[in-house]
Amino acid sequence: MRILASLFTLGAIKTFIVPRHSIVAPDIEVIQDPAKRLQGHDPQLERAVEEAMRLLETNEFQLKPEPPPTVRWKRPEGFQN
């Protein structure tokens, strides 16, 4: 009990006690409007898709080749087709 009290007074756990407090700020802040959420919209997802589409238009990329399919089973030794 004493250890916890000293940790609280030193502020070591203080940052984790504050609800909805993040150490890292978001790159793009999106306000979650309850009215839009009730209508079935997801403002955070919609903004993420907008940003992804914007980045696709401005940044060049190359598709990686498709990896070979995984072997899900092996034929027994001596099997002839």
Average pLDDT over residues 1-19: 46
Can you give the pLDDT at residue 14? Answer: 46
pTM of this prediction? 0.48
Are 32 and 43 in contact by the 8 Å Cβ rule? The answer is yes
Q: What is the pLDDT of residues 37-69, one digit of tens each?
A: 889 999 999 999 999 999 999 888 888 999 988
How is residue 18 written in tokens? 């504050």
**Better-scored residue on pLDDT, 8 or 26:** 26
Q: What is the pLDDT of residues 11-43, one digit of tens each?
A: 554 444 445 555 777 788 888 888 888 899 999
Cα separation, 12 vs 14, whole angstroms: 6
